[in-house]
């Protein structure tokens, strides 16, 4: 196995990542303002920014879902139990002992088992939960005449806020992980340049050098 720098994050994937980050930060800021955690924005302005940011993020996610399935990149997000325990042990114990990370990024698998599981839960649990509750809240005027609608709306608001806090926790853990092991820039650089160090089989290395020379350094 040879370790080479390979383009594993394409332009759209990097645009998706940074665009999603900006929109989620804006949604968090305006959303927490609407809930009274700060008074830095006028309520009407916060509602407008929150709504427009939500629709922009929804459009971005629709494009990302289309991209994931047309490029078959969704395979990188499939969780696997193989090596999961070793990665969990590393982050809970080994990392503090200076041990080497047990997972080596491969051309066909850029996320370790724990990352794949976390990203999958984010995409199929937290994101749909916050979208369903957010749209239900936004369209309250259509179903406010139903029995117990006000009580249901309270639960929707609680679930929506709870999901937002869960996403915030995920984001904070994500940022923390960027400070472990290598330097912060070494972790962030692949999502800026697209290139990361990857272990390649001789066949993969030969294929990239011959057919995709721009993807390998």
Structure confidence at residue 40 as a pLDDT band (50, 70, 90): very high
CATH topology of domain 2-215: Fumarate Reductase Cytochrome B subunit (1.20.950)
Q: Read off the pLDDT of each residue in 192-197 and give the average, rounded to a whole number.
A: 91
Nearest CA to 65 out of 8, 12, 130 is that of 12
Name, of 14-23, 98-107, 197-206, the range with top average pLDDT.
Answer: 14-23
Q: Which pLDDT value is given to residue 202?
A: 87
Q: Which residue has the higher pLDDT, 205 or 27?
A: 27
Q: What is the reported pTM?
A: 0.85
How many angstroms separate the CA atoms of 112 and 104, rounded?
8
Q: Which pLDDT value is given to residue 197?
A: 87
State pLDDT tens for residues 99-151: 787 777 777 777 888 888 888 888 889 999 999 999 999 999 899 889 899 99
Q: Which pLDDT value is given to residue 183?
A: 77
Give the mean pLDDT of the chain.
Answer: 88
How many angstroms separate the CA atoms of 117 and 35, rounded?
31
Structure confidence at residue 205 as a pLDDT band (50, 70, 90): confident
How many angstroms separate the CA atoms of 4 and 217, rounded?
6
């Amino acid at each position: 196995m040879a370790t080479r720098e390979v383009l594993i994050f394409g332009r759209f994937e990097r645009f998706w990542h940074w665009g999603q980050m900006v929109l989620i930060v804006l949604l968090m800021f305006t959303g927490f303002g609407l809930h009274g955690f700060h008074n830095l924005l006028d309520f009407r302005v916060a509602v407008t920014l929150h709504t427009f940011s939500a629709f922009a993020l929804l459009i971005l996610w629709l494009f990302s879902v289309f991209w994931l399935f047309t490029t078959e990149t969704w395979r990188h997000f499939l969780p696997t139990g193989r090596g999961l325990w070793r990665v969990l042990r590393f982050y809970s114990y080994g990392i503090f002992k200076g041990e080497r990370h047990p997972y080596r990024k491969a051309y066909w698998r850029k996320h370790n088992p724990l990352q794949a599981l976390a990203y999958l839960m984010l995409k199929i649990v937290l994101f749909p939960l916050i979208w369903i509750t957010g749209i239900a809240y936004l369209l309250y005027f259509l179903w406010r005449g139903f029995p117990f609608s006000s009580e249901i709306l309270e639960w929707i608001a609680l679930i929506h806020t709870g999901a937002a806090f869960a996403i915030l926790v995920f984001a904070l853990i994500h940022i923390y992980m960027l400070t472990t092991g290598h330097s912060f820039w070494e972790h962030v650089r692949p999502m800026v340049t697209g290139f990361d160090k990857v272990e390649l089989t001789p066949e993969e290395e030969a294929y990239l050098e011959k057919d995709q020379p721009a993807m390998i350094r």
